[in-house]
A and B are shown apart, each in its own frame.
Chain A
Amino acid sequence: MKVDQEVVKYPVGWVLVILLITIAVYLWLLDLFSMQRVFGVLLASELVVFAMLAYLYSKPSFSKVSKSWFLAGAISVAVFLFLALTLATQ
């Protein structure tokens, strides 16, 4: 059965927005008030993940996804998480 890309993408957009809000609230509820720098870096990494998802879903198929951009995003997230860990253990 041929899946209509537009039909698939429409709910996915909303799912991504809900995901963004959910994770932001989740981060907010964590006791990070005393670790604001960690909170900032985690929120930044989460936004990069969201941007990567948006990029993936903006392409008609996975073959059109640029591996370089995707790799750059993945490395950024890894670096951000490492920074968060470093700041948290300071």
Chain B
Amino acid sequence: MSLESKIAKWFESRLGLKATVLRPVPEYSFNPFYWLGALTVIAFLMQAFTGLLMLIYYVPATDQAYSSTVYIIKTVPLGWLIETVHLYGAYAMILLASLHMFRGYFVSVQKKPREMMWVTGMLMGLVVLGFGLTGYLLPWTVVSKSATDVSIGMLSFLPAQIGSVLTFLLAGTGSNVAELSRFFDLHIVVLPAGLLVLLALKMYMFEVHGAAEPSTGPKPSKEVPWFPRVYLYFAMIGSVFVAAVLLASALFPVSLSAEFSPQAASGYVPQPEWYFLSLYQVLKFASFEGEGIYYALGGVTVILALFVLLPFIDRGTKRDAASRPFYTTIGLILIAELATLTVWGYFTPGQVIPDLQALVIIVGVALVIAIMTALTYRMRNKMRGLPIGKLGLRFMALPLRHRTITAMFVGLLVIGSVSMAGLVRSLAAGSIGFAAPFLNFIVLVSSFCFMARILRNLTLRQRGTLL
């Protein structure tokens, strides 16, 4: 027996890895969507590695935080690359965690017996957002400090008993020194420890229940050994992921804004990072100004709580998206609203959004998604139960075959978009005139109806080719 085999045997006899984490895995899990959680863990490890390297030079003091960050970027060998990878790694981690959650939502991984895995995963998602919030302050730039102050300021609107405790935990006595010190401690000790505990818990449950089976199609039972197939697959997707982060870091280097000072902050409109823009945009609605923030934060908390407790609300046994039109529609509306609010927030920094404008956009987006989803489900029923994913792929090929109709559809889309923009602009300007908004509304509805008609006719006419 070779020395390598002897060492491997010794470890195996003590740790029993082959029976647990290195056990055979089902064939169906060789799909990148099954590895979104693992990629999030890789992102976390990357963050830990780059974070530890930066920790050698970073000084968590208000008078040195900025200068030490500049020192890392400008003087430390490869410091600039490490700093950028840390930033983009954080973005990737939040994005992957969100994709992992939404993918799980649509294929119902939260159903029995994986309810607690879902709850644990949601808590991990909150911790990941906590990383984003606390890490953002550390360079002590005018951008990061102003945005963090907005977040902390929100806590003061909560009921006094809760708000004061949370403010004290996050920002201490309120001084800049205490705030930076607490955020630093949270970022490098409390949150990593919390995430590791939750990760261990989730991995344990994963080992007990395994990966969720595909929600549609036959239930395959074939398993493949962990080594070499899983090892190579994991190495492959992990390498591609790290390569993508490195490439983005090399092409779009991080640049620090000015150091924080009360003078610099006075002329700056605070704007949070992209992952908090949707929440921030909601808080900019006119009704949620001042005391109204109670309702906004209350509403967001309720939506979050419903999402965390989803396994105990959605008790049906069917898992595929085609059999859960209600939850699928809700999920799609949520994604569309988050995307809309994020883009909208990016283009309207510091602006208070009039209620009517907010109502039109929020309800409009929800209605468009609901109608399109309902049409898709209706179409699917006419198509003798073809899976939605397969139907979508075949449907996407139609524009190539019917160029004239596609051009008409795109034209109507442009007209509808322009009229919607005009409608929103006139509502935002508080226009009291009736003609322009009414005309825009009529054009918008007409173009939308024509688009729906084209879609319906095209699909029904092409039934044969789609099937």
A-B contacts, CB under 8 A, total: 82
* Docked-complex contact A36 and B243, CB < 8 angstroms: no
Q: Is there an interface contact between B228 and A6, defined as CB atoms closer than 8 Å?
A: yes
CB distance from A77 to the nearest CB of B (A): 10
* Contact among A16, A40, A50 with B249 in the assembled complex (CB-CB below 8 Å): A40
Q: Is A55 part of the contact surface with B, judged by Cβ < 8 Å?
A: yes
Contact yes or no, A87 B250, CB < 8 A: yes
Residues of A contacting B: mostly: helix
Q: Are B232 and A58 in contact (CB under 8 A)?
A: yes
Find chain A residues with CB under 8 A from B247 CB.
40-41, 44, 80, 83
Q: Which residues of B contact A40 (CB under 8 A)?
A: 81, 84-85, 246-247, 249-250
Known A-B contacts A9-B228, A10-B227; the reply to A51 vs B250 at CB < 8 A is no
Q: Tell me the minimal C-beta distance from B223 to chain A in angstroms.
A: 15
A36, B242: Cβ atoms closer than 8 Å: no
- Closest-by-CB residue of B relative to A37 is B250
Indicate if the CB atoms of A58 and B228 lie closer than 8 Å: yes
Does any Cβ of B come within 8 Å of A48's Cβ? yes
B236 at the binding interface (Cβ < 8 Å): yes
Query: Would you call the interface of chain B mostly helix, strand, loop, or mixed?
Result: helix
Which residues of A have CB within 8 Å of B249?
A: 40
Point out the residues of chain A lying under 8 angstroms from B243, CB to CB.
Answer: 43-45, 47-48, 51, 80
Q: How large is the interface on B (under 10, 10 to 19, 20 to 34, 35 or more residues)?
A: 20 to 34
Min CB distance A36 to B, Å, is: 4
Answer whether residue B251 sits at the interface, using C-beta atoms and an 8 A cutoff.
Answer: yes
B230-258 interface code vs A (CB 8 A; 1 in, 0 out): 01110111011011101101110100000
Task: Give every chain B residue within 8 A of A65 (Cβ-Cβ).
Answer: none
A-B contacts, 6 listed (Cβ < 8 Å): A47-B239, A51-B236, A51-B240, A55-B236, A58-B232, A58-B236
Apart from A40-B85, A58-B236, 12 more pairs, CB < 8 Å:
A13-B227, A13-B232, A32-B78, A36-B78, A40-B250, A44-B242, A47-B239, A47-B242, A51-B236, A55-B232, A58-B233, A80-B243
Residue numbers of A with Cβ under 8 A of B are: 6, 9-10, 12-13, 16, 32-33, 36-41, 43-45, 47-48, 50-51, 54-55, 57-58, 80, 83, 87
